[in-house]
Amino acid sequence: MKIRELLSTRVQAAMTAVGIPDSFSPMVSPSNRPQFGDYQANGTMAAAKKLGTNPRELAQKIVDQLQLEDVASKVEIAGPGFINIHLAEDWLAEQVCTALNSDSLGMEQAEQPQTVVIDYSAPNLAKEMHVGHLRSTIIGDALARVLEAQGHKVVRQNHVGDWGTQFGMLIANLEDKTAGNEVAEAALSDLEEFYRDAKQRFDNEPAFADRARDYVVKLQGGDARCLELWQQFINISVTHSEEIYQLLNVTLKPEDIKAESAYNDDLPVVIELLKQQGLIVEDQGAQVAFLEELADKEGNPLPMIVQKSGGGYLYATTDLAAVRYRNDVLNADRALYFIDARQSLHMKQVFTLSRKAGFAKPEFSLEHHPFGTMMGEDGKPFKTRSGGTVKLAELLKEAVEKAEALLQSKESDLSAEEQKEAARKIGIGAVKYADLAKTRTNDYIFSWDSMLSFEGNTAPYLQYAYTRIQSIFRKADQTVDNSVAPVLAEAQEKALALKLLQLEDVIDQVAKEAYPHLLCNYLYELSSLFMKFYEACPILRSDVAAEQRASRLSLCAATARTLQQGLDLLGIETMERM
Ligand code: ARG
């Protein structure tokens, strides 16, 4: 049920009926205060100003034309011309009932499903996944789930870094290690350590450095032995990230990997096409595009190198090829890139040149959705105590351990096995939610204490709210009759029902703007309204009539399902007890 859309359509129709051009939006949004109704339409003022009429009179004319008898109990004009809409309890109750009877909680499938590429996670395979990859992985995955739930075709693209000069020293080192009887898996069990070792040898052993450089050239030339070593390295590195994805409950699969190297053959084609169209020129031996679109204040166009003077290609060249692939082969309508804000200029360059070169058709929407940096509690970028990068595997392990300790400190009737499972869901959920709940574009402070708190806008709080509802059902020992609509007699019941029905509007906004925190806020508000309802409206007390109990239980059921479904869209699991 998209309430906002329904009301917007109706108000727009009334505006049209009184002669207001379609270009004026009805501006319908949920009201902040119940006394202003459940929704407000604030578009009258702008229209009146333009048409030179009195806004209150215009609002009255619109209201006279407004057909909302089936959904609203009252429509009022307030202030300079706001239209306040009070929704009818009966109608809301019926919608809750309909939602409960649908697998998707009444969410509709997109009328025009799109093909949406989501470019996310994308670690550099030369090293181990570290916290720098966390945000892209978590946020991108939430968007993949949301768009899929809406019925879009989502193509996950894990644009992993598997090419570049550092692989010369890595495979030379791997060759030496495996020659000495060590199996590759063991040698590469700690990628970070392996990388450090290779780098140290590269810096200190001239013969090793020469061989590493030679291997880079051979690798690019397709030398079988070098490719074999490289492939071995990549396979093991990919296995490391697969383990993390699994632990993180992230939907990326090995087949979603479309690595940088997959575009190698297309790179000379990209250069050729740019040349033919006169979009690049030679500058000090390199091939460069000068983008007037991104000129500085003095009007100097921004140079973007697409081929180095030695003939080597760059990160940007590969991204241009990826745009071509997504446009021509995947035939995508949208591509969402979840990459650190520090790469904003890079993305602008890639998008601008792709458009000019016709690599992306005009209707193909290219969207960089940047995010800020994860900070430590000292306000500096998140590091280990000794100042090193934090390995993701270790961070996640710590999260589960902390959740385990937390559960152990509480009284619980869970078996050891159940407690372990719950700790995993709580620990991982806490890390993911803490990230998702912040406005994506801001930096955020990573704090164990706040993310693992059972109070406030956290995963444990929402998971706990869910288990509380489950415990009500266990005590009630009665199933919900989905065919009967709840009775919304108390203000808290109405407020809860209204919130329940706003899920789809929120999901729609998340899908459009790629801001998962909107869904987090929604779930948090929903839980808070549920707690208020629970305090004000007894359910299991012996003096509650059977019908009223059934009605309230159906509100409980709808809340539990909305919480579960909402958290699932964020990639966070729930449990029956904790
Ligand atoms: N591997 C890159 C990095 O670690 C991120 C790649 C993002 N995706 C892209 N199409 N450029 O910075």
Which atom of ligand 1 has the smallest separation from the CA of 315? 11
Coil, helix or strand at residue 151: coil
Number of Cβ atoms within 10 Å of the Cβ of 401: 12
Which residue, judged by its Cα, is nearest atom 6 of ligand 1? 122
Distance (angstroms) between ligand 1 centre and the Cα of 351 equals 15
Lay out the sheet containing 39-41: strands in order across. 28-30, 39-41, 82-87, 72-78
Two structure tokens written together for 504: 């789809």
Distance (angstroms) between ligand 1 centre and the Cα of 130 equals 14
Q: Which of 423, 23, 563, 195 is CA-nearest to residue 187? A: 195
Element containing residue 560 per DSSP (H, E): helix 546-569
pLDDT of residue 1: 83
Q: Which of 120, 124, 125 to mutate to test the pocket of ligand 1 (most atoms within 8 A of CB)?
A: 124
pLDDT of residue 245: 97
Which atom of ligand 1 has the smallest separation from the CA of 160? 1
Distance (angstroms) between ligand 1 centre and the Cα of 517 equals 23
Lining residues, ligand 1, CB within 6 Å: 119, 122, 124, 159, 161, 319, 322, 337, 339
Q: Which of 125, 130, 159, 338 to mutate to test the pocket of ligand 1 (most atoms within 8 A of CB)?
A: 159
Q: Longest C-alpha distance within the chain, in Å?
A: 88
Cα 476-478-480 angle, rounded to 5 deg: 115
Give me the tens of pLDDT residue by residue for the chain, a chain 578 residues long: 899 999 999 999 999 999 999 999 999 999 988 889 999 999 999 999 999 999 999 999 999 999 999 999 999 999 999 999 999 999 999 999 999 999 999 899 999 999 999 999 999 999 989 888 999 999 999 999 999 999 999 999 999 999 999 999 999 999 999 988 788 999 899 998 999 999 999 999 999 999 999 999 999 999 999 999 999 999 999 999 999 999 999 999 999 999 999 999 999 999 999 999 999 999 999 999 999 999 999 999 999 999 999 899 999 999 999 999 999 999 999 999 999 999 999 999 999 999 999 999 999 999 999 999 999 988 888 888 888 888 899 999 999 999 999 999 988 889 999 999 999 999 999 999 999 999 999 998 999 999 999 999 999 999 999 999 999 999 998 888 888 899 999 999 999 999 999 999 999 999 999 999 999 999 999 999 999 999 999 999 999 999 999 999 999 999 999 999 999 999 999 999 98
Distance (angstroms) between ligand 1 centre and the Cα of 124 equals 8
Give rounded-to-5 percent helix, strand, coil for the chain.
55, 10, 35
Distance (angstroms) between ligand 1 centre and the Cα of 125 equals 11
Q: Which of 435, 516, 459 is CA-nearest to residue 134? A: 435
CA distances from 67 to 10, 85, 238, 529 (A): 7, 12, 58, 30
Rg (CA), the chain: 28
Domain ranges, ordered by start, for the chain: 3-87, 115-160+260-368, 166-251, 392-569
- Domain 3-87 CATH class label: alpha beta
Coil, helix or strand at residue 162: coil
Q: Which of 34, 38, 50 is CA-nearest to residue 7? A: 38
Which atom of ligand 1 has the smallest separation from the CA of 319? 10
Q: Which of 119, 125, 133, 314 to mutate to test the pocket of ligand 1 (most atoms within 8 A of CB)?
A: 119
Q: 30 — phi, psi (to 5°)?
A: -65, 145
pLDDT of residue 310: 87
* CATH of the domain spanning 392-569: 1.10.730.10
Single-letter amino acid code for the residue at 330: L
Distance (angstroms) between ligand 1 centre and the Cα of 188 equals 22
Name residue, tokens 């949004």: 29
Q: Which of 250, 38, 255, 276 is CA-nearest to residue 129? A: 250
Distance (angstroms) between ligand 1 centre and the Cα of 122 equals 5
Distance (angstroms) between ligand 1 centre and the Cα of 427 equals 27
Q: Which of 343, 350, 368 to mutate to test the pocket of ligand 1 (most atoms within 8 A of CB)?
A: 343
Distance (angstroms) between ligand 1 centre and the Cα of 120 equals 8
CATH topology of domain 115-160+260-368: Rossmann fold (3.40.50)
Which residue, judged by its Cα, is nearest atom 11 of ligand 1? 319
Within a 13 Å sphere around the CA of 91, how many CA atoms are in the beta-carbon half?
Answer: 12
Which atom of ligand 1 has the smallest separation from the CA of 339? 7
- CA gap 427, 414 in Å, rounded: 16
Which atom of ligand 1 has the smallest separation from the CA of 161? 1
Distance (angstroms) between ligand 1 centre and the Cα of 521 equals 29
- Cβ neighbours for 445, distance < 8 A, ≥ 6 positions apart: 375, 376, 377, 379
Distance (angstroms) between ligand 1 centre and the Cα of 340 equals 9
Distance (angstroms) between ligand 1 centre and the Cα of 421 equals 33
Q: Which of 465, 449, 453, 444 is CA-nearest to residue 530? A: 465
Question: Contact, 169 vs 201, CB < 8 A?
Answer: yes
Distance (angstroms) between ligand 1 centre and the Cα of 160 equals 7
Which atom of ligand 1 has the smallest separation from the CA of 347? 11
Which atom of ligand 1 has the smallest separation from the CA of 340? 12
Which atom of ligand 1 has the smallest separation from the CA of 343? 12
